[in-house]
Amino acid sequence: MEFHAWLDMLVGLTVIVNPLLGATAYTTLTSGSDRASRQHTARLCALTVGAVLSVAALGGEALLRLFNIGLPEFQVGGGILLLLIAISMLHARLSPARANEEEASEALQKDQLGVVPIGIPILSGPGAISTVIIYAHQEAGWAHLAQLIGEIWVVAGGVWLALTVSDRLLAALGKTGINIATRIMGLLLAAIAVGFVTKGLKLLLPGLG
């Protein structure tokens, strides 16, 4: 894989996972917890993100075959989903595809914040899973999959770091800074989403190419 392709995937994964959003949710949901509990939640969240997206990379093809879904159709559908998430980010809002109030409330009662809702679906939700499956199909071979999984764990490490320093990070950025960063990532995600839809449509309708 060429360096620019590797970098494109890393940027795409970082944008859709959005560690900054995770830091915001983490700070809000763990505000009453002690330091040890918060550190445990941060580690658990990073492991959840890495594990879920790695499974998506390895098992995505089998899942598509199981439901008789072709890659072009999935690219179009996944691209539309990402575009909806991007639109929410451009308005500095949490997309309903990532989480809802009921999931957050249930997670607080079960003391499993690192897994649900921060790990799933806020960070590694349908949009991130769709992105990983599409990236996994861009090239054939185990070498490509290994590189993709390596990038997934780099992003998971970024999630852990963002959560660990979340208080300082959010204090430094402030509400305005967070909203600006969210909108910038939303714009990047929208461009990625349009790219997925365009590639899928060209495969479905060769005349468009």
Condensed to tens digits (0 to 9), the pLDDT of residues 72-104 reads: 999 999 999 999 999 999 987 767 666 666 665
**Residue of higher predicted confidence among 30 and 106:** 30
> Which residue, 16, 24, 163, 168, is CA-closest to 78?
16
Model pLDDT, residue 100: 62
Model pLDDT, residue 162: 97
Tell me the C-alpha distance between 93 and 86, whole Å. 10
**Band of pLDDT at residue 59, cut at 50, 70 and 90:** very high
Average pLDDT over residues 46-62: 96
Q: Which two tokens mark 58?
A: 């390895």
Average pLDDT over residues 173-190: 93
Q: Is the pLDDT of residue 55 over 80?
A: yes
Model pLDDT, residue 206: 86
Q: Are 202 and 208 in contact (CB under 8 A)?
A: yes
Tell me the C-alpha distance between 62 and 134, whole Å. 13
Tell me what percent of the residues of the chain surpass a pLDDT of 90: 76
> Which residue, 119, 164, 138, is CA-closest to 18?
119
What's the gap between Cα 201 and its chain centre? 23
What's the gap between Cα 117 and its chain centre? 13
- The residues, any chain, with a CB within 8 Å of residue 84's CB and separated by 6 or more, are 95, 97
Average pLDDT over residues 112-133: 92
pTM: 0.89
Model pLDDT, residue 149: 97
Average pLDDT over residues 165-182: 93
> Which residue, 12, 7, 11, is CA-closest to 134?
12
